[in-house]
């Protein structure tokens, strides 16, 4: 009895640091389930990695290659790359394989009526942006205090970097702050010009929507131009150890969003240490990275996947391998309340989550954390995005997609 999960991973090239952390955590969690529990109700998890090098074409190849493996075929596809997400978006619906994209991918896919097979769970970019506005509002003494303030949105000049813009613009209007957008050309290893501009603008906050080497470079450049780091708020792809360590002292005080908790303090991670690493079955080459931001995000991937399968088993038969279609149902009915999280030992590691037919995001929350010079410290509890605002944007965008593609959205009241 096996449940197969295809892992389109990347462990070489510029993305390797993130990839090895996330896939390491994820695989460790699945190992934990197998080792400790003997699988999900006795169904062992099996997986196979397929190196994508973060490349769309190779991702598609991996998708096709993994599709038919295992007794029930690949049952969930989580490419960890927006490009690959887009490339297989239509295929997953045809092949009936749910695709989970946590913290990346197509934002408007959170509208489950239009995208039944895609699950951008926990938070989308717009939730993140909204969470950031709320966080900064809190810092300045309430959202209404944002009026007249100036925020710089420093972004990676790419589709990814521009994701936050619509929500930021809307919020700027809504709350009356000035938004200044400054792009950084890929790869962003030189930001002299941008930070001189920022120095001239004297913004109250800088939102850092960066990627890769752009992040430490930004922090360095900020330090050099004397901009206080604790007024830079990064996104969750700008908030890992990989982003701060290279910046050295310059990163001290820097704040970033995250969609998972940080550190080894969670019971589930202790369990991993005990059942996996103590038995020498850990996937991380560098054990010190257990508990790091990306690693924990990988654990979250593991938890969500396993719990979706468990949920599906409850409906379709415990102890049996689930098909992709059944797992999709599991995702759509995933309900991780506080109790459930506590049972998993993951309280605080991920927010409470309730996915539904219409809402594939499930939580829309972010946490903020601060770098103390050597590690990330939690700064806030979960902050919920302005869900109405986010939802509005999502539905508009999904609606446009549905129209362009001629898709009729599901009627959620009729869903089982």
Partner 1 sequence: MLYREAGQFKASYQADQQIFPIRQDRVGFSLVLAFFFLLVPAVANQYWLQAILIPVLIFSLAALGLNILTGYAGQLSLGSAAFMAVGAFAAYNFMLRVPGMPFLLALVLGGLCAAAVGVAFGLPSLRIKGFYLAVATLAAQFFIIWALTKFPWFSNHSASGVISTQAVVILGYAFDTPASKYLLTLSVVALLALLAKNMVRSSTGRAWMAVRDMDVAAEVIGIRPLHAKLSAFAVSSFYCGVAGALYAYTYLGTVEPEGFNLDLSFKILFMIIIGGVGSILGAFLGAAFIVLLPIFLDNIIPQLFGGLLSSSFSSNLQLIVFGGLIIFFLIVEPHGLARLWQIGKEKLRLWPFPH
Partner 2 sequence: MQFFFEVLIGGLLSGVLYALVALGFVLIYKASGVFNFAQGAMVFFAALSFVGFQEVLQRWGLPAAPAFWLAFVLTLGAMVVLGILTERIVLRPLVNQPPITLFMATIGLTYLVEGIAQGIWGANVRGLDLGIADEPVEWVMESAGLLVSRFDVFAAAMAGALVLSLALFFQYTRTGRALRAVADDHQAALSIGIPLQRIWAIVWAVAGFVALVAGLIWGARNGVQFALTYTALKALPVLILGGFTSVPGAIVGGLIVGASEKLAEVYIGPMVGGGIESWFPYVLALAFLLLRPEGLFGEKHIDRV
Residues 223-242 that bind partner 2 (CB under 8 A): 223-226, 241-242
- Give the Cα separation of 170 and 210 in Å (integer): 20
386 part of the interface to partner 2, by CB under 8 A? no
- CB 193 to partner 2: min, Å: 4
**4, 10, 77, 329: which one binds partner 1 (CB under 8 A):** 10
Residues 85-114 that bind partner 1 (CB under 8 A): 86-87, 89-91, 106-108
- Give the Cα separation of 251 and 186 in Å (integer): 21
DSSP-derived letter for residue 212 is: T
Per CB under 8 A, the segment of 85-93, 245-253, 354-362, 389-397 that binds partner 2 is 245-253
**2, 37, 41, 58: which one binds partner 1 (CB under 8 A):** 58
190 part of the interface to partner 2, by CB under 8 A? yes
Backbone angles phi, psi at 216, to 5 degrees: -60, -35
- CB 223 to partner 2: min, Å: 7
181 part of the interface to partner 1, by CB under 8 A? no
- Give the Cα separation of 85 and 77 in Å (integer): 9
- Give the Cα separation of 316 and 318 in Å (integer): 7
- The rounded Cα 22 to chain-centroid distance in angstroms is 10
- Give the Cα separation of 194 and 202 in Å (integer): 12
Residues 137-176 that bind partner 1 (CB under 8 A): 157-160, 162-163, 166
82 part of the interface to partner 1, by CB under 8 A? yes
CB crowding 218-241: b at 16 or more within 10 Å, else e = bbbbbbebebebebbbbbbbbbbb
- CB 72 to partner 1: min, Å: 17
**1, 173, 192, 264: which one binds partner 2 (CB under 8 A):** 192
**73, 166, 183, 345: which one binds partner 2 (CB under 8 A):** 183
Which among partner 2, partner 1, none contacts residue 190 (Cβ within 5 to 8 A by kind)?
partner 2
Residue 369 near residue 377 (C-beta atoms within 8 A): yes
Residue 20 or 313: which CB sits closer to partner 1? 20
Which among partner 2, partner 1, none contacts residue 148 (Cβ within 5 to 8 A by kind)?
none
- Give the Cα separation of 163 and 397 in Å (integer): 12
DSSP-derived letter for residue 68 is: T
39 part of the interface to partner 2, by CB under 8 A? no
Torsion from C-alpha of 77, 117, 294, 129, nearest 10 degrees = 150
**55, 178, 197, 273: which one binds partner 2 (CB under 8 A):** 197
What sign for the dihedral angle of Cα 296, 133, 80, 306? positive
**37, 41, 65, 415: which one binds partner 1 (CB under 8 A):** 65
Angle between helices 165-175 and 387-405 in degrees, nearest 10 = 140
Q: How far is CA 164 from CA 101, 152, 161, 171, 257, in A?
A: 17, 12, 7, 11, 13
Residue numbers of the site for partner 2 (CB under 8 A)? 11-17, 19-20, 157, 181-187, 189-190, 192-194, 196-197, 199-200, 212-213, 216-217, 220, 223-226, 241-243, 245-248, 250, 285-286, 289
């Amino acid at each position: 009895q096996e449940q197969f999960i295809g892992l389109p991973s990347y462990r070489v090239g510029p993305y390797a640091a993130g990839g090895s952390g996330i896939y390491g955590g994820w695989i460790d969690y699945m190992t934990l389930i197998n080792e400790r529990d003997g699988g999900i109700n006795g169904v062992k998890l099996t997986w196979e990695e397929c190196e994508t090098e973060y490349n769309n074409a190779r991702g598609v190849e991996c998708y096709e290659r993994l599709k038919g493996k295992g007794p029930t075929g690949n049952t969930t596809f989580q490419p960890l790359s927006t490009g690959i997400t887009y490339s297989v978006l239509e295929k997953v619906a045809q092949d009936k394989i749910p695709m989970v994209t946590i913290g990346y991918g197509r934002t408007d896919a959170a509208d489950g009526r239009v995208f039944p097979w895609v699950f951008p769970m926990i938070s989308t970019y717009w939730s993140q942006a909204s969470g950031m506005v709320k966080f900064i509002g809190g810092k300045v003494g309430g959202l209404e205090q944002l009026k007249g303030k100036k925020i710089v949105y420093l972004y990676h000049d790419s589709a990814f970097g521009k994701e936050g813009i619509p929500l930021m613009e809307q919020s700027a209007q809504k709350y009356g702050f000035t938004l200044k957008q400054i792009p950084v050309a890929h790869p962003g290893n030189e930001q002299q010009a941008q930070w001189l501009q920022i120095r001239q603008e004297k913004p109250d906050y800088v939102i850092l929507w960066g990627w890769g080497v752009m992040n430490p470079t930004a922090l360095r450049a900020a330090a050099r131009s004397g901009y206080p780091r604790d007024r830079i708020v990064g996104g969750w792809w700008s908030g890992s150890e990989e982003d701060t360590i290279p910046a050295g002292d310059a990163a001290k005080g820097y704040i970033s969003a995250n969609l998972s908790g940080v550190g080894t303090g969670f019971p589930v991670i202790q369990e991993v240490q005990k059942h996996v690493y103590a038995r020498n079955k850990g996937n991380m080459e560098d054990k010190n990275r257990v508990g790091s931001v990306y690693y924990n995000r990988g654990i979250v991937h593991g938890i969500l996947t396993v719990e979706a399968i468990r949920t599906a088993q409850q409906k379709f038969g415990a102890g049996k391998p689930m098909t992709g279609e059944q797992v999709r149902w599991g995702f759509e009915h995933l309900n991780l309340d506080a109790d459930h999280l506590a049972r998993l030992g993951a309280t605080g590691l991920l927010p409470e989550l309730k996915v539904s037919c219409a809402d594939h995001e499930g939580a829309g929350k972010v946490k903020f954390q601060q770098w103390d010079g050597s590690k990330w410290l939690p700064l806030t509890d979960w902050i919920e995005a302005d869900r109405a605002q986010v939802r509005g944007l999502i539905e508009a965008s999904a609606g446009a997609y549905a129209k362009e593609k001629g898709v009729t959205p599901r009627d959620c009241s009729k869903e089982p």
